Structure formats: C-alpha cells, structure tokens
Amino acid sequence: MTGKNNIAIGFLTMGLFMAYGFLLIYLRDFAPDKEAWVNSYSVGKHFESRLAHVHGNLFAFLNILIGYLLMRFEPQLSNVKTISWLALTGLLMPIGILSEVYFGLPPALVLIGAIAMTASVIWMGVSFLKIKNQNL
C-alpha cells in the first residue's frame, strides 16, 4: 500500500507548518519587537521563515496528492516506492530552511529536498503519461 505514508506524513507536516504559521502571526502582531519583524519583511529570518511556511504546506500537500495517486493507480504505475520516497525526502526542503534560520546550518537539506521533490513530481508525470487510457 505505497502512498499511505505520504498521506499520513503529509497531513502531519501540514498541521505542523500551519501551527508554525501561528508563530509567524504572533511575531508579526504581538511580539514585543514586532516593528522590527515587520520592517524585515523581505529579508533575513522573516523572509526565510515565510518561505519555510509556504513550502512546508505546499510539499505536505504534494505528498498527500502523490500518496493518494500512488495508492489509486499503483497497479498501472511503475517505481511507486521510489516516487513515494522521493516525495517524502522532499520534505527536507522546508525543514532545511528552518534549520538555516534557527540553527545556522548550511543549505544542504534545502537542496536535497528540492531536488527530491522535483524528481518525484516529474517521475510521477512521466509515469502517468505511460498509462494507457483504457487502464484508468
């Protein structure tokens, strides 16, 4: 049942990045130094934090969608486990952005995650192109 983990982890990741959005709202509206946060809207930690929030939710949604499609079309698709693992690995991108912001780590996780998610989406598209219409 390839794809189930993508759906489960996708929903969990989406929930976490949605909750992270509440932190961003706090920093923008309620934190003691909110003016400094607002003034750094397009640079530094503020920008990177928003980038992680958006990509975290996008990549979580992609995992939910990919997981569902892998489960639904598993007999007609090839390399479903590889596509599944690549999509899950893609979640390293937003995690990597946060690790840069909060821990000063290098962007290796960002690059690995971005490449993995891009590969999974392209591989999924090619796999669907290979399906004969009567098999849908």
- Whole-number pLDDT of residue 38: 81
Burial class (CB in 10 A: 0-12, 13-18, 19+), 17: buried
DSSP secondary structure code for residue 45 in this structure: H
- Whole-number pLDDT of residue 136: 61
- Whole-number pLDDT of residue 132: 82
* 107 Cβ neighbours under 8 A, 6+ residues apart: 96, 100
Domain ranges of the chain: 4-131
Per-residue pLDDT of the chain (136 residues; tens, 9 = 90+): 789 999 999 999 999 999 999 999 998 899 898 888 888 878 888 889 999 999 999 999 999 999 999 999 999 999 999 999 999 999 999 999 999 999 999 999 999 999 999 999 999 999 999 998 755 6
- Whole-number pLDDT of residue 52: 95
- Whole-number pLDDT of residue 120: 98
pTM to 2 decimal places = 0.91
Which two three-digit tokens encode residue 19?
């909750």
Beta strands in 69-108 (DSSP E): none
CA angle 104, 109, 115 (to 5 degrees): 145
Burial 42-76 (b: 16+ CB within 10 A, else e): eeeebebbbbbbebbbbbbebbbbbbebbbebeee
